[in-house]
Structure 1
Amino acid sequence: MALERVELCLPQLLNTSCLKPEPLHSVTVLFYIFLSFISLLTAALNLLVIISISHFRQLHTPTNFLLLSLAISDFLVGFLLMPVEILLTETCWILGDFMCALYYLLPVTIIIASVGNMVLISIDRYVAICDPLHYPIKVTQKIVTICVFLCWIFSAFYSIILLHDNLKQPGKYNSCKGQCVVNITGAVDLVVSFIIPITLIIILYVRVFVVAVSQARAIKPHISNDSLKRSRIIKVKRSEIKAARTLGILVVVFLMCYSPYYCVSLTGHDILIGSSTETFMIFLIYFNSCLNPVIYALFYPWFKKAIRLIVTFQIIQPDSHKAKLL
């Protein structure tokens, strides 16, 4: 009788079809409701960041444009990747093997773009703190735009190269029909997507904080009465050091969320995307996209002011883009 109750993903393929997942238990249902809430929260918070930086003229700075690019990738995680990942863990894949391989181009591209954005943010803070006199010349809106564009283009091409074997032979790593699993070369992905960018980020931020600490010690708590220029310099330096500290927290949280996934490659095994064993690590990476705007809300006063103007619909008023947020 037990065998008669077994349901297949593709009943017409009796010998090769996967079994349908078992009905969800109450605890599992609550867990997926929680994940759905995180997905919605991730999309909503990052949409607020996107609207804030895009709408308010005062926020149109090179650094914030990098945060805008990161927020776009984070928004796509909450709006697209999280819901699909939730569905994939409890349903059968019915769109075919090629569409399975094609779908995974999206999460790989977005994740690589997020890593690239973090590298660009680290470079931005390095130049701002270590070479402040040349920062306005070296880091302009045009240069940042080009760098962000190249970051996304590289991410897309890299995802195609990484999943080339799966695109060439769709379904090669599926154990049965109705499953969506792809395989990537763990060693290559580990070096390109983790070791190289993380090494750059750590080196740059170690240098940034060494210089920031030395600058903080050089700044006196009092301001000379005969030097208005000195007070302005102190204010600028403190602002840059605070920005470096906030973005440093962003990088640390990023490392904590991404490291477990890539540490699997250190064991010498390829990463089997779509398998249940790596689902937790994937969601940990995705959860980082929810934490980023929370960090902005905690440490950036301009984001709090922008949210207030957005949720009260004051941004629809004429000249609202000229609002003072800094």
Structure 2
Amino acid sequence: MLTYILLFSVSLLTAFFNLLVVISISHFKHLHTPTNLLLLSLGVSDFFISFLILCQIVLIDGCWFLGDLMCALYQYLAAIITAVSVETMVLISVDRYVAICDPLHYRTKITQTKVKICVCLCWFGSVMYASLNLKDNMNQPGRYNSCFGECVIVVNYIAVVVDVIIFFIGPITVIVLLYMRVFVVAVSQARVLRSHVAAVRLQGSVTVTSKKSELKAARTLGVVVVVFLICLCPYYCVALTSPEGRTNASSADFLLCLYYFNSCLNPLIYACFYPWFRKSVRLIITLKILQSDSCEANVL
């Protein structure tokens, strides 16, 4: 019962947090920026993951009673949504890299049109990849089940390796490299600012501010990378070492839930650190967004 309550609570929180992100960015016109469009895509994919967590509740006792078709559809949607979530995180890291490391050309390199195209490509590519990877399971749902009430999918081992490279090794490599570069630039800028202000004899107060900025940058980037690794590493490590890529959903509940739990943390990591999110949430909770001119409110 405790497991049921825990998973159900995580599902509700995931849906609630990401719904706030989606409503905020969609409703307020001042939030229609390239970066926020990526957060919107991430929020949409993570919102649907809350429904996948509910499906995991069905599998707690190891019995799937929703039928073979729903089992195949669940695995299909899980592949699409999780892939979109990971790809969007990579796009966000690229966006932040350009914004911090090349701020003068940010507006020309990162535009809303380019971001919309990239987001559409992420969703379309994820749908095509999932369709090819789970083609046999979708054509004949339940073909790999050994008994009634089982929800099993089987993919080629090569496909599992490709999946690990595309959605685990590749994204982690890109995110770590970009964030390391961002951190180096942030630290160097803080040192330049400290040296510049020291020339006007304000070195004491600025030193403290610079150190706080360095620690804040290190802490924020560290949380992003560490949480991403903690949530994704166990699932992909087991998937890569499983014989013949065979995964029984009833035996992988914990790994999948940990994987999905990252979607509950994404709004806290990518959105809650922004002041505009707190302001928009306040307007949403107080129902002020129902006013006719609320979309023009300046929440920045």
Equivalent AA in structure 2 for residue 290 of structure 1:
C
Confirm whether residue 159 of structure 1 aligns to residue 133 of structure 2: no
Query: What is the match of residue 30 of structure 1?
Result: 2
Tell me, yes or no, if the aligned pair for 1:246 and 1:299 is still in contact at 8 Å.
no
- Report the count of equivalent residues: 284
- String of CA shifts for 1:188-216, please: whole Å, max 9, x gaps: 21112211222122122122212222122
SS of the equivalent of 1:90 reads coil
One-letter identity of the residue aligned with 2:288: Q
In the alignment, is residue 50 of structure 1 matched against residue 22 of structure 2?
A: yes
Name the CA distance, whole Å, in 1 between partners of 2:188 and 2:243: 43
Q: What is the aligned-residue RMSD (CA, Å)?
A: 2.7
Equivalent residue number for residue 98 of structure 2: 127
Structure 1 regions of 5+ residues with no counterpart? 1-28, 226-238
Specify the alignment match of 2:293 in structure 1. Answer: 319
C-alpha distance in structure 2 between counterparts of 1:130 and 1:262, whole Å = 31
Q: 1:135 to 1:243 in 2, by over 3 A?
A: farther
Q: Flag the structure with larger Rg.
A: 1
Cα gap change, 1:268 to 1:89, in 2 (>3 Å): closer
Q: Distance in 2 between matches of 1:308 and 1:95?
A: 39
State the match for 2:178 in structure 1.
Answer: 204
Q: Which runs of 4+ in 1 moved over 4 A?
A: 221-225, 241-248
Matching residue's letter, 1:190: V
Q: In 1, Cα distance between the equivalents of 2:120 and 2:295?
A: 25
For 2:220 and 2:174, locate their aligned partners in 1 and report how far apart those are by CA, in whole Å. 18
Indicate how the Cα distance of structure 1 residues 187 and 300 shifts in structure 2: closer, same or farther if over 3 A, else same.
same
Equivalent position amino acid for 1:193 in 2: F
Say whether 1:175 aligns with 2:141: no
User: For structure 1, which segment, 69-78 or 177-186, has the greater mean C-alpha deviation from structure 2 after superposition?
Assistant: 177-186
- Among 110, 120, 132, the alignment partner of 1:139 is 110
Q: Is the 8 A contact 1:296 1:303 kept in 2?
A: no
Match of 2:227 in 1: 253
The CA distance in 1 between the partners of 2:256 and 2:228, in whole Å, is 13
Task: For 2:230, give the aligned amino acid.
Answer: M
Q: For residue 33 of structure 1, what is the amino acid of its counterpart?
A: I
**Hey, what's the Cα distance between the residues in 1 that align with 2:66 and 2:285?**
39
SS at match of 1:170: coil
State whether residues 118 and 251 of structure 1, in contact with CA within 8 Å, keep that contact through their aligned partners in structure 2.
no
Q: For the Cα contact (< 8 Å) 2:153–2:248, is it kept in 1?
A: yes
**What is the CA–CA distance in structure 1 between the aligned matches of 2:283 and 2:104, rounded to whole Å?**
34
Contact between 1:39 and 1:82, CA under 8 Å: does it hold in 2?
Answer: yes
Q: Structure 2 residue aligned with 1:301, among 275, 282, 286? A: 275
Q: CA 1:297–1:141 in 2, change beyond 3 Å: closer, same or farther?
A: closer
- Secondary structure (helix, strand or coil) at the match of 1:182 reads strand
Distance apart, 1:224 and its partner CA:
10
State the secondary structure of the residue aligned to 1:35: helix
- The two structures have a TM-score, normalised by structure 1, of 0.79
Secondary structure, counterpart of 1:176 in structure 2? coil
* Identity within the alignment, %: 58
Q: 2:88 aligns with which of 117, 122, 127?
A: 117
